[in-house]
A = this chain, B = another copy of it.
Amino acid sequence: MRSRSVLKIIGRLLMMIGVSMIFPLLWAIYYGENEVFVFIASIVITFLAGLGLSEIRSNDEELRLIDGLGVVSLGWAIISAFGALPYYLSGTLNYLDAYFETMSGFTTTGATVINNIDILPNSILFWRAMTQWLGGMGIIVLAVAILPALSIGGMQLFGAESPGPKIDKLRPKIRETAKILYGVYLIFTGAQIILLLIGGMSLFDSFSHTFCTLATGGFSTRNDSIAYYNSPFIEGVITFFMFLAGTNFILHYSALRGKINYFKNKEFLFYITIILSTILVMTFTLNNSIYSSLSDSFRYSSFQTVSIMTTTGFTTSNFDAYPALSRIILLVLMFIGGCACSTGGGIKNIRIILILKYFYREIYKFLHPNAILSIRVGEDTIPEDVIKGVMAFFIGYITIFVISIIIVSSYGIDLITAISSVAATLGNIGPGLGLVGPMYTYALLPDFIKVVLMFCMWAGRLEIFTVMVLLVPDFWRE
């Protein structure tokens, strides 16, 4: 890794983060909050740190792939360190908690350590929502342009379809793709804000919730999350945009250009099938057990299913009090997550499809030892390299999951909390079950557990490989 070049780029990103803090500053001024100075200080510190790093002298050669990896993995961690300043300087949280909350924001996880959100100043709430929105922007580019170029976790195939001109070098390509995707992201942002305003939400809340929907983040400005509004219309709007946010953005880009490809895409079909069948099962399970009418049962099931499956984590009900079947299904959905090239986390639907096809192929091959069978998705034959990447991703995901629950439970935390807190952070969902269920926060967990869960958010968000590569000594060679 060329650490100078990497730090230089991270410096530029930091400057952008510093500048973006102007928006919460404006809200602080508008509402006359004491946090005006907090944000000014945060902006100055972040911007100057960024400026300092960006002035590092380097040969400024074209970045190699491995350097891109350094930018992504280290960048996410360093930016979170500065993004934590507003929470810390305002006295809202101690530094570790502030870092946790910011990592949870930038990774669009939505796990919170703040017990009482209702009393927070609006400027802090806005920054909290903005970390998710910015994180979502980062992820979209990461998922569509950077990770595929890096052949991470079998995603090369899906990046090959990325829109925009084919450019050989990494940076110009990222720039072009980013422009296109940000266009889509901004259009969705505008549309959702307008719809939420129509639904009767305040301008401030509309902005905040839109930011956290499109990033599949799930931070709310209310302790009761979306349940606060008790409005089927608002729930419907958010459900719809969570669903879009968990879908491949390349499909959205095509659709906005007039080519509706959704139902030709096997991953989308798988994604929507799982969502619809879960809603069906949950509606009937919850009817007569939790809710007294089929319509209520459908209303809460569909919101919660889409929220968890897309890894958003907004809540309209305490799903931890649901019957065992619904709880376990939601836990399983946490692992599946969104589609490739979306802001959703988890293993991703396309990988689940490939994993299952791999299994069936080996069974089939057993009966027909001489058959040469390639794995196909729709009309595409999937190269063996992609399959290997997917399998390795799956192993890495499960390995981190298992090691993390062992560590978490070493603090005497009950098994359901341990399992679900790791699943909910590694999959970038947010709320889990038990002590990290919808009625609680991550605040009471011991500090070291918070560090482990931050690692899970980070590793999950960066598709495992990007973070695991840091463990290979060769990576650190200049």
**Which residues in A have some Cβ–Cβ distance to B below 8 Å?**
66, 150-152, 285, 323-325, 327-329, 331-332, 355-356, 358-359, 361-364, 366-369, 388-389, 391-392, 394-396, 398-399, 402, 405-406, 409-416, 418-419, 433, 465, 468-469, 471-472, 474-475
Contact = CB atoms under 8 A, between A and B. Distances in A.
Contacts of A389: 362
A417 to B, nearest CB: 9
A210 B201 CA distance: 71
A285 B410 CA distance: 9
Given A327-B415, A367-B472, 18 more contacts: A66-B367, A285-B410, A324-B411, A324-B413, A325-B409, A328-B405, A329-B406, A331-B415, A332-B406, A358-B392, A358-B395, A359-B392, A362-B389, A363-B396, A363-B468, A363-B469, A363-B472, A366-B469
A395 B472 contact: no
Nearest to A420: B415
A322 to B, nearest CB: 11
B398 A366 contact: no
Contacts of A324: 409-415, 418
A54 to B, nearest CB: 27
Given A359-B396, A359-B399, A415 B367 contact: no
B395 A355 contact: yes
A347 to B, nearest CB: 11
B151 A366 contact: yes
A419 B394 CA distance: 20
A389 B416 CA distance: 32
Contacts of A356: 395, 399
A469 B366 CA distance: 8
Contact of A323 (B285, B358, B391, B412): B412
A359 B472 CA distance: 12
A204 B388 CA distance: 53
Contacts of A285: 410
A361 B358 CA distance: 19
A409 B66 CA distance: 45
